[in-house]
């Protein structure tokens, strides 16, 4: 887990460009406080900040590796972990070790060399063999070609910018902002990305809020030559073909449990201490319980708030006691919450309007005092059907049987029903197709609400820009599976994994997610929808698989996560005055109708409407604009001072 930065020039690398890249490394120092490495030749410049996890004394980056005839052929920078690196090293050494004579094929004990060697012998197909989380760059000094790749699920980020001066790439967008002048690019905002953000509460891949900076999408690789644009190829697409299964259902549950146990075992590979996040839910509890089998001294961490109904601290503590883990709790006060927002937004790069990222930031900060790596339960809901919204197709089945004309009539009738009337939403959603109604877990603004707050509202820019190509790839699947597939490409990689990566790396803490493993996906992708959701529960097959692993008080408990009392705080003294000050000070009048936003805040405080999520979406953007555009807000980013040996 580290921070990489690179620049492929269109011509010969100028000394001032080399200096710019090396200076911009400072922006990602929190991702790798243990050591810094740089390397360049006539065309490519690599910079790297390392968080040492495996082979701490060696495996320095940028790393040089090559075949026997040219041991320095490739230069590599790599962010992440390859959990099957031992198996890959063994396979490659067995097949090609003789070519090196008395010299070993590998000169370190780490996973970075496994990537370089796999790429040399297998080419781009090597990425399909990597089991882990990664974003990496390989420069081939013989062919003059740069290869960039990102892991199947998008756990690790990789930003790209291409202009007349070349192509820059890095783990964080803020470092690329410093390189835009060298690329011959500007820093203009992307208005369509802003509209997508207000609807989805995150900026969907491959967009960012800066028009000239994009993201390499999850499950993709790119090849780049000097002076040319990246050529992007998708190498991984999660598929959910239902596998007919006529045997004992317990065999399928055992298959799931075995895949997850194997994934956790490989995710525990490290030369430093590994802990685990622990909420009150089944996912993180399962990971922690399995991790205990490999580290009986496991430390678990949870967070919560003092307000009743907004904390899973007690349940998590009970779970930790049940599995025998040492447990540490961080309670976040409203004052801490508000004070940390500018710093958190700086770490985010682009706004994410998920308030759960704030407690995640604090629990990561607490965990980093004790460990250098944590496991977490992200991804289980998308793979096994864990969101309550996945039950919606069951409730809407009667509408599916109606002729299209009658469904549209139901929609027109819903428009005449007053807001807040029971049944209005059901009629409206029943009148829509799945593609029209479902665009993920976040539903911040309607078109009418957007029109009232955005200065430049473009009705043709809709969530369909993002979701239509994904839905096209899942035609013929059942609706629950199509929703899962959509969430893997939208909500998971746009919200869940962004906040997980950014908030842990803000504290120089590596987060690993064993559910998001290609072997676990294989166990999950063939499940029929009735093994995922029912009128009574979610993640049915997973719950069955975890019998005897997860304590009974959690096994069938409803999902809660890290709930935040945002609705109450924006009405009370905790956040209302802070929110009003943000609206007044923000220089976003050309983008937002601030008077309309102020009215929303007043309506919310008076209890006339619950605007909490919409207000939070706009407030986070205002803070982001104040940090990255106006530069009016200047967070105090502390130098990381963590010991290397943890």
Q: What are phi and psi of 175, to 5 degrees?
A: -70, -35
Nearest CA-CA partner of 79 in 7, 158, 168 = 158
Rounded to a whole number, what is the largest CA-CA distance in the chain?
A: 82
Q: Report the run of H or E that residue 223 belongs to, with start and end.
A: strand 220-224
Distance CA 402, CA 404 (A): 6
Distance CA 552, CA 575 (A): 38
Please report, for residues 139, 203, 263, 338, 577, the alpha-carbon distance to residue 609 in angstroms, rounded to integers and kept in the order given. Answer: 55, 26, 45, 23, 18
2 is catalytic: yes
CA angle, 38 then 497 then 557, to 5°: 145
Nearest CA-CA partner of 119 in 109, 131, 108, 127 = 127
What b/e sequence results for 532-543 when a residue is b if at least 16 CB atoms lie within 10 Å of its CB, and e otherwise? bbeeeebbbbbb
Count Cβ atoms below 10 Å from residue 414 Cβ, excluding itself: 18
Residue 516 contacts residue 378 (beta carbons within 8 Å): yes
Distance CA 32, CA 60 (A): 12
Residue 297 contacts residue 313 (beta carbons within 8 Å): no
Residue 413 contacts residue 402 (beta carbons within 8 Å): no
Distance CA 15, CA 94 (A): 43
Bridge partners of residue 234, in order along the sequence: 220
Q: Where are the alpha helices (DSSP H) in 506-639?
A: 518-524, 540-545, 552-555, 566-571, 576-585, 594-606, 612-628
- 142 exposed, middle or buried (CB, 10 Å; 0-12, 13-18, 19+)? exposed
Residue 56 contacts residue 207 (beta carbons within 8 Å): no
Tell me, what DSSP letter sits at residue 464? H
Distance CA 266, CA 113 (A): 18
Cis peptide preceding 62, ω within 30 of 0: yes
How many Cα atoms sit within 13 Å of 447 on the Cβ side? Answer: 6
Q: Report the run of H or E that residue 76 belongs to, with start and end.
A: strand 74-82
DSSP 2-53: EEEEEEEESSSPPHHHHHHHHHHGGGGGGG--SEEEEEE-SSEEEEEEE---
What b/e sequence results for 477-511 when a residue is b if at least 16 CB atoms lie within 10 Å of its CB, and e otherwise? bbbbbbbbbbbbbbbbbbbbbbbbbbbbbbbbbbb
Distance CA 425, CA 523 (A): 36
The catalytic position among 2, 313, 357, 566 is 2
Active site residues: 2
């Amino acid at each position: 887990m580290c921070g990489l930065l690179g620049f492929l020039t269109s011509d010969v690398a100028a000394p001032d460009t080399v200096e710019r890249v090396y200076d911009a490394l400072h922006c990602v120092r929190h991702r790798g406080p243990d050591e810094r490495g740089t390397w360049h030749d006539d065309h490519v410049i690599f910079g790297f900040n390392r968080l040492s996890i495996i082979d701490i004394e060696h495996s320095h980056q940028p790393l040089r590796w090559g075949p026997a005839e040219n041991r320095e052929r490739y230069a590599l920078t790599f962010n992440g972990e390859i959990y099957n690196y031992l198996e890959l090293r063994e396979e490659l050494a067995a097949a090609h070790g003789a070519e090196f004579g008395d010299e070993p094929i590998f000169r370190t004990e780490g996973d970075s060399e496994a990537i370089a060697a796999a790429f040399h012998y297998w080419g781009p197909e090597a990425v399909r063999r990597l089991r882990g989380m990664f974003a990496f760059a390989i420069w081939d000094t013989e062919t003059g070609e740069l290869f960039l790749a990102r892991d199947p699920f998008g756990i690790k980020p990789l930003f790209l910018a291409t202009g007349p001066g070349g192509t820059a790439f890095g783990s964080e967008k803020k470092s690329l902002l410093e390189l835009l002048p060298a690329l011959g690019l500007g820093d203009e905002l992307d208005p369509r990305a802003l509209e997508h953000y207000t609807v989805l509460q995150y900026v969907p891949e491959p967009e960012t809020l800066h028009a000239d900076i994009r993201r390499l999408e999850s499950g993709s690789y790119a090849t780049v030559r000097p002076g040319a644009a990246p050529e992007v190829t998708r190498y991984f697409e999660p598929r959910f073909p239902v596998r007919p299964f006529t045997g004992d259902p317990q065999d399928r549950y055992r298959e799931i449990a075995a895949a997850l146990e194997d994934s956790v075992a490989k995710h525990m590979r490290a030369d430093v201490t590994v802990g685990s996040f622990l909420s009150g839910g089944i996912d993180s509890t399962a990971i922690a319980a399995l991790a205990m089998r490999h580290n009986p001294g496991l430390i678990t961490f949870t967070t919560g708030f003092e307000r009743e109904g907004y904390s899973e601290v007690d349940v998590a503590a009970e779970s930790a006691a049940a599995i025998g883990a040492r447990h540490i709790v961080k309670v976040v006060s409203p004052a801490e919450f508000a004070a940390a927002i500018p710093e958190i937004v700086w770490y985010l790069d682009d706004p994410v309007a998920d308030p759960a990222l704030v407690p995640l930031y604090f629990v990561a900060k607490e965990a980093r005092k004790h460990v250098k790596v944590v496991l977490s339960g992200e991804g289980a809901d998308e793979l096994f059907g864990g969101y309550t919204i996945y039950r919606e197709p069951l409730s809407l089945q009667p509408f599916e049987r109606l002729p299209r004309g009658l469904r549209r009539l139901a929609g027109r009738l819903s428009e005449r029903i007053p807001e807040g009337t029971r049944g209005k939403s059901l009629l409206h959603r029943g009148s829509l197709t799945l593609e029209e109604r479902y665009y993920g877990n976040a539903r911040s603004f309607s078109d009418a609400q957007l029109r009232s707050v955005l200065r430049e509202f473009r009705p043709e820019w809709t969530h369909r820009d993002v979701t239509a190509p994904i839905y096209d790839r899942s035609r013929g699947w059942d609706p629950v599976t199509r929703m899962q597939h959509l969430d893997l490409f939208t909500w998971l990689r746009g919200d869940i994994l962004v906040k997980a990566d950014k908030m842990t790396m803000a504290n120089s803490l590596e987060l690993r997610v064993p559910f998001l493993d290609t072997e676990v996906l294989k166990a999950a992708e063939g499940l029929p929808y009735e093994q995922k959701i029912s009128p009574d529960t979610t993640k049915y097959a997973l719950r069955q698989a975890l019998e005897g692993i997860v304590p009974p008080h959690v096994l069938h408990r409803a999902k809660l996560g890290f709930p935040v009392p945002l609705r109450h705080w924006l009405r009370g003294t905790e956040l209302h005055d802070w929110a009003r000050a943000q609206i007044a000070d923000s220089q976003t009048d050309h983008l937002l109708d601030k008077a309309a936003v102020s009215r929303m805040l007043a309506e919310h405080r008076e209890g006339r409407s619950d605007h909490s999520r919409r207000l939070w979406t706009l407030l986070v953007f205002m803070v982001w604009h104040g940090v990255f555009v106006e530069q009016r807000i200047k967070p105090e980013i502390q130098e990381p001072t963590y010991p290397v040996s943890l």
